[in-house]
């Protein structure tokens, strides 16, 4: 913090912005995620008891990493005046075979657009490898899960 006269000025980065989303039950194992006016759906495959109407939460987890890598790579390309057309990110993940249920490994392959100069390849990979989701997985956030109180009227 810095002081200007008697007033204390707090840098913008010192107060984190709170982002919110809400998940509501749709039907069976399907849920809707509302975030900033957008709706995403999740479900389970039929062999897991769902109706397979949408990706699973775990698939969206892997998709979150892949799209974050793609976004950072795309921004790098745009910043250097390079075409993003043809940029692709493929992701494979495996589930742990023991408990607790979790993703055991994730492999991300960044396919640069055709014609990317060789001198840009290492920098593209470095930038994409430091996307927000990847950073978060390496420095785990605090996670609290609590149960909302319900006021019972007499």
In angstroms, the Cα distances linking 72 to 21, 40, 54 are 23, 22, 26
State how beta strands 22-27 and 2-4 pair. unpaired
Lowest mean pLDDT among 8-17, 19-28, 52-61, 63-72: 8-17
Q: Work out the end-to-end distance of the chain between its first and last CA atoms, rounded to an integer number of angstroms.
A: 50
pTM attached to this predicted model: 0.86
DSSP states along 98-118: SSSP-EEEEEEEEEPPTT--H
Q: What single string gives the DSSP state of each residue in the chain? A: -EEETTEEE--GGGSPPP---EEEEEETTEEEEEETTEEEEE---GGGTS--SS--HHHHHHHHHHHHHHHHHHHHHHHTT---TT-EEEEEEEE-SSSSP-EEEEEEEEEPPTT--HHHHHHHHHHHTT-HHHHHHHSPPP--------PPP-
| More confident site: 39 or 153 | 39
Quick: pLDDT tens for 89-139.
999 999 999 999 999 999 999 999 999 999 999 999 999 999 999 999 999
At residue 65, the pLDDT reads 98
What value does the CA radius of gyration of the chain take, rounded to a whole number of Å? Answer: 21
């Amino acid at each position: 913090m810095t002081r200007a006269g008697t007033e204390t000025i707090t840098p913008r980065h010192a107060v984190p912005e709170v982002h919110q989303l809400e998940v509501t039950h749709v039907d069976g194992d399907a849920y809707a995620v509302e975030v900033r006016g957008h709706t995403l759906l999740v479900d389970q495959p039929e062999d897991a008891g769902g109706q397979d109407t949408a990706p699973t939460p775990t698939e969206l987890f892997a998709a979150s990493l892949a799209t974050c890598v793609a976004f950072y790579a795309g921004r790098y390309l745009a910043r250097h005046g390079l075409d993003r057309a043809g940029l692709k990110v493929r992701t494979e993940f495996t589930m742990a075979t023991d408990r607790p249920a979790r993703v055991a490994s994730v492999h991300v392959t960044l396919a640069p657009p055709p014609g990317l100069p060789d001198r840009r390849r290492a920098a593209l990979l470095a930038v994409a490898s430091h996307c927000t989701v990847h950073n978060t997985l390496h420095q785990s956030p605090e996670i609290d899960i609590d149960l909302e109180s319900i006021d019972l009227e007499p």
